[in-house]
Amino acid sequence: MHIVVPIKQVPETSEVTMDEESGTMIRAGVESIINPLDLYAIEQAILLKEQFGGSVTLLSMGPKSAIEAIREAIAMGCDRGYLLSDRKFAGADTWATAYVLANAIRRMDCVDLIICGERATDGDTGQVGPGIASFLDLPVLTYVSGLEVDGDAIVVRRLVENGYEVYRAPLPVVVTVVKEIAYPRLPTLRGKQRARGMEIPLWDNALLGLDEQCLGLAGSPTRVKRIFRPKVSREGEMLVVRSEDDLEAAADRVVAYLDEKNLL
């Protein structure tokens, strides 16, 4: 089985701050990590390889530093990786990102399955997985929490709002997976050594030859106009419980609040 896993390097969410004046994100000095939800996709891919044989190819579109994310995933147990990097790819929205990733996947041999994480924790859109499938004219099954192979097809459980939907899809197919699918393993020491020594080819647009009008900021139909901090904090009523009396009073106050807001 040849499985492709597109991954993204993202800033560590809790560390990202904003320059309120200019409305831009401050990424300097913020640690970069593999998108946490991609770890589940990587794990599922490796599990399938261990069970059925084959290989796992990683793909990442990003700045040169994204090569570290690829190495980390290889250290977990993937076979190879390609870094898609070019200044022309920068500033891409989900349409332009899916365009580049899909075209890179087209260059690969015999891809049976493409597994994506549910979404990236910086953009939070979840749109690239289905976007890739659309460009490749493949079916896509999203929010997959369980996956079994059945001959040349897969049977998946999708986690939807009120339960699970079970589908059977002949390969090749794109899936996006949720956390429930598997528990990501840690990279091994040997894996890290292997990853360090491995050549990870850089594919830029000179190699890919894609239509520049479809790339990066220029190729993105959407544009971010403004970034601002939400007013999330609330001036809440605080009650401190230090005694039985406090406890009674606090509980009464909560019930009164709930009643007032029609929440009882």
Partner 1 sequence: MKSRVREIWTLAEASGDGINPVSYEVLARGVELKAKLDEIAEAKVVAVLLARSLDDDAVRTLVHYGADEVLYVRDERLADFLVQNTASILTDLAGERKPEIFLAAATTYGRTIMPYVSVRLNAGLTADCTVLDIEPESGLLLQTRPAIGGNILATIKTESARPQMATVRPHSTRVLPPDVSRAGLVTQILPDDRHFRSRVKFIRFESTSDDEMPISEARKVVSGGRGIGKAENMALVHELAEALDAGVGASREAVDRGWISYPHQVGLSGKTVTPDLYLALGISGSIQHLAGMQTAEHIVAINSDPDAQIFKVADMGIVGNLFDVVPVLIEKIRRARRADSQECRTA
Q: Which of residues 109-138 bind partner 1 (CB under 8 A)?
A: 121-131, 133-135, 137
Nearer to partner 1, 212 or 252 (CB): 252
Binding to partner 1 (CB under 8 A) within 211-250 occurs at: 220-230, 232-234, 236-242, 246-248, 250
Span of 1-9, 43-51, 175-183, 187-195 interacting with partner 1 by CB under 8 A: 175-183
Whole-number Å distance between alpha carbons of 41 and 179: 9
Q: At what angle do helices 36-52 and 67-76 cross, to 10 degrees?
A: 40
The answer to whether 89 and 30 are in contact (CB under 8 A) is no
Nearer to partner 1, 80 or 167 (CB): 167
Q: What is the amino acid identity at position 235?
A: E
Least distance in angstroms from the C-beta of 199 to partner 1? 32
Least distance in angstroms from the C-beta of 41 to partner 1? 13
Q: Counting contacts by CB under 8 A, is residue 258 touching partner 1?
A: yes
Least distance in angstroms from the C-beta of 72 to partner 1? 18
Nearer to partner 1, 64 or 226 (CB): 226
Residue 148 backbone zone (phi > 0: left; psi -120 to 50: alpha; other: beta):
beta
Binding to partner 1 (CB under 8 A) within 41-60 occurs at: none
**Bond preceding residue 172 cis, omega within 30 of 0:** yes
227: number of Cβ within 10 Å: 12
The answer to whether 96 and 214 are in contact (CB under 8 A) is yes
The torsion defined by the Cα of 93, 37, 83 and 77, in degrees rounded to 10, comes to -170
Nearer to partner 1, 10 or 73 (CB): 10
Number of Cα atoms under 13 Å in the Cβ half of residue 32? 17
Whole-number Å distance between alpha carbons of 255 and 261: 10
Whole-number Å distance between alpha carbons of 111 and 134: 15
Nearer to partner 1, 43 or 83 (CB): 43
Binding to partner 1 (CB under 8 A) within 133-162 occurs at: 133-135, 137, 139-143, 145, 155, 157-162
Closest CA relative to residue 200, chosen from 70, 97, 86:
70
Span of 51-59, 82-90, 104-112, 164-172 interacting with partner 1 by CB under 8 A: 164-172
Binding to partner 1 (CB under 8 A) within 62-101 occurs at: 93-95, 98-99
Which regions of 35-139 does DSSP assign to beta strands (E)? 55-61, 80-84, 113-117
Binding to partner 1 (CB under 8 A) within 180-199 occurs at: 180
Nearer to partner 1, 8 or 158 (CB): 158
Nearer to partner 1, 36 or 187 (CB): 36
